[in-house]
Amino acid sequence: MEQRKWVGKLAPYWLFQLRLFPWIPYLIHQAKQLRKSSPKLPAQSSLLTLGKGDNHILLLGESTVAGVGASCSEHSLAGNFHRLLGESYQIESIGKKGLRVKDALSLYYQQRQIPVQKSKGILLFLGANDCFLLTNPTAFKEEIETLIHQIQEATAAPWIYLAGIPPVHLFPAFSKKMSFFLQRQRNYLQAELEKIAAKDPNVIYQEIPMNLQLEFFAADGVHPSDLGYQKIAELVVDKLKFFPFYTP
């Protein structure tokens, strides 16, 4: 079981908001400057299906699923999962840069290419944009729970892999002040994911390691590089090997 270090140890969210409020104009200005100066990297796997195996896996999420920062689709998350899981699997990747949890289900219904009777499992990578846009933790938890319930109904998937929120405060592109508030916002949202996973046996939760090196990141200092995507996929597959449903 993952260590749940934030549950029960956070101050009320309104105290965080109170501390954040005076800094909002400055942080908005910094975010705008960052968007202007950062290289615009294309998405490589926003809508992609790899493989023809009987074991369908849905990969759904934000820019990491869309493959922003990867050099080509082969080096995206979808490409790496296809390589690691093998030909008995079919990987359907649906991702969008800037996606928030509340919009993930509608994106799935709009973009799905393979209406299957049953998926082998679901891989969810969400939460970074809810950090950036300061989603309230209570709303975030409700949105995640709704997504999990409805996506399981739509796909009949027996399990859902829920990735921990990326350590946004460690992204090289962000200033110390942005990182300070992003870390605290992340802690609140991360705690909600941990609560969900603790009570739902169908959810496989995994924290993302915090010891990220510069080569993990693409040129914009925000999204993963080819190496970053490879490491994330390997981390996930190593986790799945401990569960009986994994059949490479």
pLDDT of 248 strictly over 70:
no
Query: What's the gap between Cα 228 and its chain centre?
Result: 13
pTM score of the predicted model: 0.91
Could you tell me the residue range of the domain that residue 19 belongs to? Answer: 13-206+214-240
Split into its structural domains, the chain has a count of 1
234 occurs within a structural domain:
yes
Distances (CA, A) of 51 to 84, 129, 158: 12, 29, 21
- Residue 6 lies inside a defined structural domain of this protein: no
What proportion of the chain, given as a percentage, has pLDDT over 70? 93
Examine residue 4 and state whether it is found in any structural domain, yes or no.
no
CA distance 231 to 2: 19
Distance CA(146)–CA(163), nearest Å, equals: 16
Rg of the Cα trace of the chain?
18
Question: Alpha helix (H) ranges present in 21-115?
Answer: 24-37, 63-66, 77-85, 101-111
Over the stretch 158-210, which tens digit does the pLDDT of each residue have? 999 999 999 888 888 888 998 999 999 999 999 999 999 999 999 999 988 77
Q: What is the dihedral of CA 135, 138, 143, 146, to 10 degrees?
A: 180
In a domain, 186, yes or no: yes
Measuring CA to CA, which residue among 161, 165, 164, 183 is closest to residue 174?
183
For residue range 87-100, list pLDDT tens digits in order: 999 999 999 999 99
Is residue 248 in some structural domain? no
Asked whether residue 192 is assigned to any structural domain, the reply reads yes
Q: Is residue 60 part of a domain?
A: yes
Please report whether residue 162 resides in a domain: yes
The C-alpha atoms of residue 54 and residue 180 are separated, in whole angstroms, by: 45
Best CA proximity match to 89, nearest among 78, 103, 97: 78
Between helices 24-37 and 176-199, what is the axis angle to 10°? 100
Residue 61, helix vs strand vs coil:
strand
Give the pLDDT band of residue 247 (cuts 50, 70, 90). Answer: low
CATH of the domain at 69: 3.40.50.1110
Q: For residue range 8-30, list pLDDT tens digits in order.
A: 478 999 999 999 998 988 888 88
Strands 47-50 and 89-95: antiparallel
